[in-house]
Amino acid sequence: MIKRLNPLYIGLLSLFAVASMSAKAMQLPDFTELVEDSSPAVVNISTEQLPSTAQGQPQLNPNAKELNEFFRHFFGQQPLDKQPKRKQRNSLGSGFIISADGYVLTNNHVIDGADIIHVRLNDRREYEAKLVGTDKRTDLALLKIEAEDLPTVTIGDSDNMKPGQWVLAIGSPFGFDYTVTAGIVSALGRNLPSDNYVPFIQTDVAINPGNSGGPLFNLDGEVIGINSQIYTRSGGFMGVSFAIPSNLVMSVVDQLKNEGRVTRAWLGVIIQDVSSDLAESFGLDRPSGALVSRVIPDSPAQEAGLIDGDIILEFNNEIIEQSSELPYRVGGLKAGDVAKSIIYRNGEKMELSFTLKNYPSEPDQLTKTQQQENRLGMVVGEISDDMLRRLNIRGGVVIEQVIGGSAARNGLQQGDVITMLNGTSIDSVERFLGSVSAIPANHSVPMRVIRDGYPMFIPFKIVE
């Protein structure tokens, strides 16, 4: 027997369902007002570059010499090899106006190598921009256009952002001007392999080629980041994008405005995260701090007495939870500043004071070990005596940075210790580099690696 429901009951259920859906809808943000208010200050950026030959010289008409006399005698024109070369225009990215008198922010990689930079506004006005300055380390560029009373964005405080908060991006992905995408903050303080200075804001906002340099807004319509990079295996968006925090951005802008370049403090260490296994091996209660895997010679760190194996727990009265936080804290200071630090060494905490220097401009000052981008796609350094004792080995080199290439393809990680390569025992960086140079391309050789205290052999191939 089928029981019939009272129509009034059915109506009440329907009203309840509609009310429930309406309540949920009310909880979702409406971005329309934000977009209307902010879009006028977002710009499209395109550049022009001289066509070049493989040798990097402007392309000339191959018949120019033969035609020069013809043009000169009959048309009075300039010879072909003296005429201005046609330029190629490319739409590359986005940007936004930060002052009514024409200062515009974008990514350095958007305008890198450009001969002419064009800025197109939301109302289709177009200006040729002057490059005020760039900072490759943070991938930022400051431009200036000659205009007045321009619409501007409001800069927010990126330190107030939390995972789960709504954010919105406006840009020109694939040339589709003023495309709006939204999502949430996925994580804060992300450290990318290509750059350990910027504590990126990770989001799931759809970012694609053309969004680079565009603003990332919070719900108050404030810019809290510049969309800069994505993580992808396909070449397109895969749900992981990264933005440069606004607080870091504005500290760079101030220097670019005043000096045209950026100088930042330098400590002189190569660091890595403290894993749970490393924390236990060092006697720490929990994983925290920045583990010093290498102290650069003649650096402020060495002059203050820091040694390999120290763990930096606090820097300039700021607790360091992850190693990615340290470069940002150091870079926010100036040369000559004195920063106190709490470090952990041999089971005890102690205090050191660092007198910081300018970040070196010459590669030699950072040592060839740090700058070495060898055939294996990694930077290696000498292993400390303390690490030799803990691992109970006689020699080896420690991987300080995985740049990419063969090292990344073969799964090597920062902190791995290489003790043997192609049958040769490794006891120094010099021996390691010598062994690398003897390895034939596209040929597998055995490599002995110690990771988290466990030795293993891997077949290693250099792909060229």
Residues annotated catalytic, as ranges: 109, 139, 212
Q: What are phi and psi of 338, to 5 degrees?
A: -105, 120
Residue 127 near residue 143, CB atoms below 8 Å: no
Q: Dihedral of the CA atoms 132, 137, 139, 140 (nearest 10)?
A: -30
Residue 302 near residue 292, CB atoms below 8 Å: no
Q: What residues does 296 pair with on adjacent strands? A: none
Q: Please list, residue by residue across 290-328, b when 16 or more beta carbons sit within 10 angstroms of its beta carbon and e when fewer do.
A: bbbbbbbeebbbeebebebbbbbbbbbeeebbbbbbbbb
- Residue among 196, 225, 262 nearest 96 (CA): 225
At residue 79, the 3 state secondary structure works out as coil
Residue 173 DSSP one-character state = G
How does strand 222-230 pair with strand 154-155?
parallel
Through-space distance between the first and last CA atoms of the chain, rounded to whole angstroms: 77
